[in-house]
């Protein structure tokens, strides 16, 4: 027990639902490839095909702001809980230090760590609402390729974690959920009408997380090739390609949002020009 008032170990690690969790393909909600396929297809369909103007004109801006604030509060708290749950599950259930960087081959996707991987997977589906909020708030020019690519692909990454009992997902989960606490605090503040001055810090921390994931990959490869192998090593290659592409997109976003040319654009009050998804987006 970590504190006498709130038994975190029980509620985040040892509760029977968490302890007895098992990812069973075909049985666990969301575990079939069809579910994954149709979820992503529905997301892309609603993003590109639905008549957004008609829908958004029938909803009041105040209502959208309220929904946006509630959504951001929920995801901020959920991200914090997932980071803590993943950290405590690792501390209490890792059989030895070596296990954290290399699950033995044929590790079963059961128990507290995989429970948090599952919640993380579901949370990425909930994050689709970010896109709908951008669309409904008539800020379609903010809908970048980076945003839609990230939201539609990250769900596949989480699915692979669970399907392949992928080594090292705890490090990525913990880092990403922690970064998302900061990111949703930023979006919450925006939704409440206060644009934080620390936007650039959020972007820098996101970029740092992509770099750190490569470091973790190198450690895993070392264990994989010097020992008897690590579980889900091929799934991890999906992570590498995905995180490398995000790194490139985020560095580009950083340049456009905070670089010298963006400052010049802001001074001249140039309107964002239309490119694919209106991606020439300047920092406010």
Ligand X SMILES: CC(C)(COP(=O)(O)OP(=O)(O)OC[C@H]1O[C@@H](n2cnc3c(N)ncnc32)[C@H](O)[C@@H]1OP(=O)(O)O)[C@@H](O)C(=O)NCCC(=O)NCCSC(=O)CC(=O)O
**By CB under 6 A, residue 187 contacts ligand X:** yes
Q: Which is nearer to ligand X, 19 or 199 (CB)?
A: 199
Tell me whether residue 89 is exposed, middle or buried, using C-beta atoms within 10 angstroms of its C-beta: 0 to 12, 13 to 18, 19 or more: buried
**By CB under 6 A, residue 202 contacts ligand X:** yes
Contact set for ligand X, span 7-66 (CB under 6 A): none
Smallest distance, Å, CB 130 to ligand X? 3
**By CB under 6 A, residue 176 contacts ligand X:** yes
- Find the binder of ligand X among 168, 191, 217, 233 (CB under 6 A): 191
Token representation of residue 126: 């909930």
**By CB under 6 A, residue 206 contacts ligand X:** yes
Answer yes or no: are the C-beta atoms of 247 and 146 closer than 8 Å.
Answer: no
Smallest distance, Å, CB 4 to ligand X? 35
Residue partners of 203: CB distance under 8 A and separation at least 6:
250, 253, 254, 257, 258
**By CB under 6 A, residue 189 contacts ligand X:** no
Answer yes or no: are the C-beta atoms of 179 and 171 closer than 8 Å.
Answer: no
Q: What are phi and psi of 54, to 5 degrees?
A: -65, -45
Answer yes or no: are the C-beta atoms of 128 and 136 closer than 8 Å.
Answer: no
N- to C-terminal Cα separation, the chain: 46
Q: How many residues bind ligand X (CB under 6 A)?
A: 25
Q: Which is nearer to ligand X, 94 or 190 (CB)?
A: 190
Binding residues for ligand X, per CB under 6 A?
A: 68, 71-72, 130, 133-134, 137, 139, 142, 144, 146-147, 150, 176, 179, 183, 186-187, 190-191, 199, 202-203, 206, 253
């Amino acid at each position: 027990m970590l504190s006498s008032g709130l038994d975190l170990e029980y509620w985040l690690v040892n509760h029977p639902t968490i302890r007895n969790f098992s990812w069973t393909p075909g049985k666990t909600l969301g575990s079939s490839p069809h579910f994954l396929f149709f979820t992503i297809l529905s997301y892309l369909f609603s993003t590109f095909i639905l008549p957004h103007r008609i829908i958004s004109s029938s909803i009041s801006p105040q209502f959208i702001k309220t929904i946006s604030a509630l959504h951001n509060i929920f995801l901020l708290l959920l991200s914090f809980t997932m980071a803590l749950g993943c950290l405590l599950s690792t501390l209490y259930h890792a059989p030895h230090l070596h296990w954290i960087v290399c699950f033995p081959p044929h590790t079963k996707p059961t128990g507290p760590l995989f429970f948090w991987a599952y919640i993380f997977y579901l949370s990425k589906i909930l994050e689709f609402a970010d896109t709908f909020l951008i669309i409904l708030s008539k800020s379609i020019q903010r809908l970048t390729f980076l945003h839609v690519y990230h939201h539609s692909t990250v769900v596949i990454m989480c699915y692979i974690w669970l399907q392949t009992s992928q080594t090292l997902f705890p490090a990525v989960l913990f880092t990403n959920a922690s970064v998302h606490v900061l990111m949703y605090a930023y979006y919450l503040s925006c939704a409440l009408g206060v644009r934080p001055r620390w936007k650039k810090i959020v972007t820098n921390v996101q970029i740092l997380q992509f770099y750190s994931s490569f470091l973790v990959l190198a450690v895993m490869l070392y264990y994989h090739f010097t020992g008897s192998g690590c579980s889900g090593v091929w799934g991890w290659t999906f992570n590498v390609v995905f995180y490398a592409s995000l790194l490139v997109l985020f560095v580009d976003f950083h340049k456009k949002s905070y670089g010298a040319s963006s400052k010049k654009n802001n001074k001249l009050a140039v309107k964002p020009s239309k490119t694919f998804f209106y991606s020439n987006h300047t920092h406010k």
